[in-house]
Every structure is written in C-alpha cells, then in structure tokens.
Structure 1
C-alpha cells in the first residue's frame, strides 16, 4: 500500500489555478522530491499534504485513509520548515520534547526520546542551549530532531537547507540522506535546487506552472526527459538546445549542423530515425548535454569545427562555450585537453545520447 496517494488534486486561489490535476503515489519508505522554480506550486502541494491548505479538487490519502478534511495533528506527519520555527525562549531539549508534552507523553518517555534523537543527530552537547546560541546548521538539526521525536508515518521538508551557506548545505544534504537510510520512513522534500533533487531523491516530481511535468527516478529524469522544460531544468550546466534540420529519408536520416567554418551531417541511430519519421517534422530541436559534446579524436568524421568563445575551468572539468547553428552551446573536456579562447576545435556530438523535441510544443519526439 502507498503511504501517500495524491489523486487528481487541484488548487485554486480565487480565480487563479495554482495546481492542476496532480497524481503521485508514494511507496512506504520512499524519498520523494518536489522540485521546480519559485511559484510552480510545490510548497502549496506540500502544505496541502500537511493540512495547512485546503484541497479544491481531488483526494489525498495517508495509509489508505482520506485526510482531505483531517486537521494537521490528525495526519501523523512531521514537518521541517525553511525557517526552523524553534521556540526562542526554550532550550534545545524543551524544543524537541514540546510536541510530545502537548500530546501527554510521560516525562520519562519524553526524556528517553530526546536522548535518542540527540544522539542520532549528534547534538547531545547542545541540549541546554537556546536557539540564539546555535549556528544555522545546528538550528536545522534541532528542527529535524523535533520532527524525529514524533516518530511519524511521513516527514515533510519545505526547502530546509535554503538558508544555509553552500558548504553547510552540502553537509546537511548528506546528513538528511543518511537519516533517511537509517529510518526508512517516507519523506517528501521540496526544493528549487536540482542538485539537491538529484542527490537526495528515490523519485523526483519536476513541477512547472502548477503541473507535474515528469515523475521518475533521477536517472530517468536526466537521461529521458519528457519535454524540453524538464531537460533544461535538470542538469548543471544545462542541456544544450540546437534547432536543426533533418535531412535524408526514413531509415537514413541525419542532422545538419553548422559551426565556425563548415557544415557537418551527423547520421542518427535507426531507433531515433524511426521516431522522427513518425513525427513528420523536418525541423526539430536537438538536446545534447555538455558531457555528450566533447573535443573529437583527430580526423573524426562525426565532428564539427567550432570557435571557442569562453573557457571555463571548474577543477575536475573545463567547459567550453561556443555556437552551433548560431545557438550558444556548452561542451565539456578534461582540464589537460582544454583549448584557449579563440581556438577552433573539432567537437563530436554523441548522437546516441541526443534527444529531440518539437519546435512548437517542446514535447519530446525521440
């Protein structure tokens, strides 16, 4: 049985439709990521799961029980907020045990729970401090500890790392992933950061304009995007999009690409050719990730000469900024093989890994 099931859920504020026909079923112990830009509806959906927002249409069930009209306290969930929401007048121990005290849990049991949670999060030495005496990362651990103390059926995280600096965000991301592995409890995590989404989730729901654009594993989302929006949102640097012309007949199709000095015709795999032929368009948008656009071996027939405008070293990789078909693109190479800005370099396109989109609808074709 799915621990959380969202069926045909929509949300309207006045005349504005902010969520449209959301369908997601979570399995027990799954880590689900809701990712998308600000205003896409992901936090609104999380608040509806929590009971902090009403549902306009559809149904949400937890462990098979409809919770559409249930209050937040009746849902057996725990939520970790972006801004910690700790009681400033209480020390860490009292913050963690407060919810237990309100539910009438015995003092001895509360104490044991606090000690267990503090040990798990390595905050035993902070129990007597107040929030003002803690760093941002420590406050977030306390907020997570308060959620853990409840032992809920479902954890909800609303951009919990967005207020932390870059280094601490990476550390806390790892801690949250390890926490999920230890607890094996279902978690729903909202973020606008696609790196967090890719590294944390068992499955990712990519949201845009109030709709789920694609729901799948990180690998499915990255390798097989459902449309151009998903392809461009997931991945850093982003996927390259090159509008190009298909040439040849069914069974023998190629794409025509123009670089700095010449034109190249790259033959496409037969499976890709069949799907493009079924679509019928002669102009399409080819999507190629930077790691699939690399300096070619000497004399490669499948390469296109490009003038390198900018060289961007990042440490383990170097990114090359250039143009193909008058579209800006990014290629990737090893630092030891990096050319200089202004050089002309033959770049090879891995057409086996390329994806194709309709120029107008931006839907995936092949």
Structure 2
C-alpha cells in the first residue's frame, strides 16, 4: 500500500506555475528525497503534502485517503523544519511534549514518550535546557525528537541540515539514516545537496523548474540519467559534457596534442545512428575518464593543466574538443602539471544527449 500518492499535482501563484503534473507514489517505510536547486518547487511540494499550501489541481492521498481539504492537524504527519522552530521559552522536555499536550495526551504518557525519544536521540542530559543553551546539532536533534514524539505515518524534513557546519552535517546525515532504519517509517526529505540525496534516499526525485525530471533509485539516477540536467546535477565532480561528431560507429575527439576516433559499443552506436543527428553531446563521469593502463585503443593524449589532490583521489583538468573536462586517478599515478598523459574512456558507461533538447539518446 502506498502511504503517500501525489497524482497530477500542480501549483500556481497568480499566473506563475511553480509545480506542474507531479506524480509520485511512495511505499510504506520508504525514504524519498526531493532534490533540486533553489526555486525548483521542492519545498512548495513538501508544504502541500503537509497542508501548509493549497493545491491548484491534482490529488494528494495519505493512506488511501485524499487530504486536499484537510488541515495540517488532520494529517498523520510530522515535519522538521530548516530553522528548528523550537519554542525559546520552553526547555527541551516541554518542546518535545508540546504537540502531545495540545492533543490531550495525559501527563504520564507524555513523560514516557519524552524519555523514549530522548534516549533514542541521546539527548537525555539536555531535557532541562532551553534552546539558547544548545548547539545547532543539539537543536536539530530536539526538533527531530518533537516530530518523533508524534509517531506519525509520515515524516517530512525541509532541508534540516542546511544550517549546520560541514562536519556536523555529515554526522547528522548518518544519524537520520540510522533513525530511518530503526523506525522504518516513511520519510520525505527536501534538500539541494546531491550528496545528501545520494546517501540518504531509497529513491530520489530530481526536480527542476517545477517538474520531476527523473524519479529512481540513487543507482538509477547516477548511472542512467534521463536527461542532461539530471546527469549534471547528480555527481561530484559533475559529469563531463563533450560536444562531438558521430559517424561510422565512433565519435571524434581532439585534445591540444592529438585526435581520436573513439569506437563506441554496438548498442550505443545503433541508437546514435537511429537518432540521425551527427552532432551529439557525450557525457562521461570523471571516474570513467582515467589514465590509460597500457596501450588501450580508446586513449587520447591530453596535456594536464591542473592537478587537484583530494586525498584518496586526484582530479586532472584538461581540454577535449575545446571543453574543460575532469578525469580521476589515484594519487600514485598523478602526473605533474604541464605533462601529457593518455586518458582512456569507459565507453560502456558513457551516455549521449541530443544537442538541442538535452534528452538522453543512448
């Protein structure tokens, strides 16, 4: 049974359409990520699920019940906000139990719930402190604890880690994933951070300009992007996009040092031939463009312009077809700046896009 169904949902503000024909079905216990740049409509969609925004058209269903006309209080959901939204005059204990008190839960049951949630989040020693006495990470745990106290059918997270420093973001990201694994409750999580999306989600909805560009598992989104936007948004460093000419089963590539007719797999070549356009965009991720190990046929000699060590990996910047591209290698084989290195392409992992529409061809 789908705990959440979004059917043909659209949203307009005046004459501006901010969401268009959103369709998502979410299974029980699933962790769904809504990811995209600022202004893509992801937070608006989350607010419509919560009942904080009205729906212009379409239907949102929770546990097989349409909730378009239900208030936030009538939906079995709990929301964790970007800015914590804690009551500054209340201590942690009262913040966590506030929603339960408003729903008439008796004092003894409230106390048990607070203790259970505090133990789960390891904040038992903070229960008598007020928000001003807490760090950013501690405040976020309290905000999550308040949501947990409700024991809802669905959790909503609106960029909950964006105000934390980088180290704490990583720690809290791990805690949220562990929390989901323990609770096995459905969660919808909004972020603009593609690393958060890839590491947290069972499925990811990549959004742009009010539309879902692709919905799939992290593996599907990364390895088989539906279009150039998805391919470029997911992945760090980003996928390389190289405009090139296709003919006779290969694409023509040139560096300042050499040229290469890169032979493509038969299935890829057949799709490009059926497409009927000689100009295409080849997408290749940095890890699929690497130093040649021996005399590979698909190697192109490239002058290395910049070397970027990151610890476990080193990134090499060069130009192919007058486009700056990034290759990845291990530190042990990293060349010096200014030297020429043969780079080989993993053509089985390369993808191709139409030059005009940016849609996937092969």
Normalising by structure 1, what TM-score?
A: 0.98
Native 8 Å contact 1:260 1:344 kept in 2? no
Deviation of 1:277 after TM superposition, in Å, equals: 1.5
The alignment status of 1:315 with 2:311, answered yes or no, reads: yes
- Residue of structure 2 in register with 1:156 after alignment: 156
Shift in Å, 1:26:
0.1
Deviation at 1:101, TM superposition (A): 0.3
Matches within 5 A, 1:58-69: 58-69=58-69
Runs of 4+ in 1 over 3 A off after TM superposition: none
Find out whether 1:49 has 2:45 as its counterpart: no
- Counterpart of 1:99? 99
What's the offset of the Cα at 1:259?
A: 1.1
Equivalence for 2:90:
90
Q: Distance in 1 between matches of 2:295 and 2:218?
A: 36
The C-alpha deviation readout for 1:205-229, integer Å capped at 9, x for no partner, is 0000000000000000000000000
Paired with 1:17 and 1:118, the residues of 2 have a C-alpha distance of: 42
- Whole-Å separation in 2 of the counterparts to 1:146 and 1:69: 25
Query: How far has the Cα of 1:298 moved from its partner?
Result: 2.9
2:207 aligned with 1:211, yes or no?
A: no
Q: 2:173 & 2:244 partners in 1: Cα distance?
A: 40
1:8-58 deviations in Å (ceiling 9; x for gaps): 000000110000000000000000000000000000000000000000010
Shift of 1:299: 2.5
- After superposition, residues 179-198 of structure 1 pair within 5 angstroms as 179-198=179-198
Superposed counterparts of 1:57-136, under 5 Å:
57-136=57-136
Residue 258 of structure 1 deviates from its aligned partner by 0.3
Once residues 308 and 336 of structure 2 are traced to their aligned partners in structure 1, the CA distance between those partners, rounded to angstroms, is: 10
C-alpha distance in 1 between matches for 2:200 and 2:277 = 38
Contact 1:296 / 1:346 at 8 angstroms: preserved in 2? yes
SS of 1:329's equivalent in the other structure is: strand
| 1:305 aligned onto 2:297 | no
Match of 2:265 in 1: 269
| Deviations, residues 45-90 of structure 1 (Å, cap 9, x unaligned) | 0000000000001000000000000000000100000000000000
Q: CA deviation at 1:300?
A: 2.2
Structure 2 Cα separation of the partners of residues 204 and 262 of structure 1: 40
Distance 2:293 2:84 in 1: 53
Q: How many Å apart are 1:301 and its aligned residue?
A: 2.0
CA positional deviation for 1:278: 1.5
Higher mean displacement: 201-210 or 267-276: 267-276
Correspondence list, 1:186-265, <5 A: 186-248=186-248, 253-265=249-261
Q: Which moved more, 1:320-329 or 1:297-306?
A: 297-306
Tell me, in whole angstroms, the C-alpha distance in 1 between the residues paired with 2:43 and 2:274: 39
Cα deviation digits, residues 317-355 of structure 1 (max 9, x gap): 000000100001000000011001111110001111000
Which SS does the other structure have where 1:3 is aligned?
strand
When the two chains are superposed, the root-mean-square deviation of aligned CA atoms in Å is: 0.5
How many aligned residue pairs are there? 362
Residue of structure 2 equivalent to 1:325 = 321
In 2, Cα distance between the equivalents of 1:302 and 1:274?
A: 19
Q: Distance in 2 between matches of 1:179 and 1:298?
A: 47
**Helix, strand or coil at the partner of 2:140:** helix
| 1:340 aligned residue (336, 341, 349) | 336
Distance in 2 between the 1:245 and 1:89 partners? Answer: 66
Partner SS for 1:357: strand
Secondary structure of 1:199's match? helix
| Contact preservation (8 Å) 1:2, 1:26 | yes
Q: C-alpha distance in 2, partners of 1:262/1:164?
A: 47
TM-score by length of 2: 0.99
